[in-house]
């Protein structure tokens, strides 16, 4: 009888472990994620609101477009087109311990840029309208290897309100911010480099 009970318990525990763990999420992360996802398939034009970089900005006089291109229950792919440059895609992922933001950078032929998949992960609940993504360890190591150690202090922020979506980069002495008008959808652009329509 004892052997049977032990076997039953072992089988029961194996069945528990065989099931995938539920994706844990909290209301502020879900609300933020869902607010972006509700625009899936739409594209919006933006304008640089702040850019305190010295010299001529590579974003100056360029058409800036975000496209909420692909959405699943756990991942959003949002290409960010800068003029004819379709090298950038923001990837927002539910990780089970928060939200991750990655920057997928590609060359025109679809191959990875040397600087790709950098980003960060939420450290707290944030807000339904705003989340912050301080640079993760992979990104810090990448920045140091590339000789841009100042970027180790990067924090990316995203804001979503009914009328505007904002992408913001901050670190000591540096701020870059683009606001996108969510009230005026535009024709979506072609797929970003490395992706297919």
> What does the block give as tokens for 146?
């590339």
CATH classification at residue 105 = 2.40.128
Phi/psi of residue 144, nearest 5 degrees: -65, -45
pTM of the model: 0.88
Q: Residue 87: inside a domain, yes or no?
A: yes
Query: Can you point out the beta strands (E) in 22-98?
Result: 43-51, 64-67, 70-71, 75-82, 85-94
Q: Which helix (H) or strand (E) holds 131?
A: strand 130-134
How many domains does the chain divide into? 1
The parent domain of residue 160 ranges over 27-181
Q: Residue 158: inside a domain, yes or no?
A: yes
pLDDT, tens only, 64-91: 999 999 999 999 999 999 999 999 999 9
First to last CA, the chain: 61
pLDDT, tens only, 119-132: 999 999 999 999 99
Q: How far apart are CA 54 and CA 170, in angstroms?
A: 15
Q: Residue 189: inside a domain, yes or no?
A: no
């Amino acid at each position: 009888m004892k052997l049977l009970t032990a076997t039953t318990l072992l089988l029961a525990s194996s069945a528990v472990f065989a099931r995938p763990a539920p994706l844990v999420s909290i209301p502020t992360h879900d609300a933020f994620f869902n607010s972006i996802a509700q625009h899936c398939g739409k594209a919006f034009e933006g304008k640089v609101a702040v850019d305190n970089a010295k010299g001529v900005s590579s974003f100056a006089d360029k058409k800036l477009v975000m496209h909420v291109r692909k959405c699943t229950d756990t991942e959003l792919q949002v290409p960010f087109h800068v003029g004819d440059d379709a090298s950038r895609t923001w990837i927002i992922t539910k990780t089970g311990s928060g939200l991750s933001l990655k920057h997928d950078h590609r060359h025109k032929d679809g191959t990875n840029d040397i600087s790709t998949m950098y980003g960060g992960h939420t450290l707290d609940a944030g807000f339904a309208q705003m989340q912050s993504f301080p640079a993760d360890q992979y990104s810090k190591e990448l920045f140091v290897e590339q000789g841009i150690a100042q970027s180790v202090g990067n924090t990316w922020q995203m804001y979503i309100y009914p009328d505007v979506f904002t992408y913001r980069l901050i670190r000591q002495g540096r701020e870059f911010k683009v606001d996108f008008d969510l009230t005026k959808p535009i024709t979506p652009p072609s797929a970003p480099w490395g992706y297919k329509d």
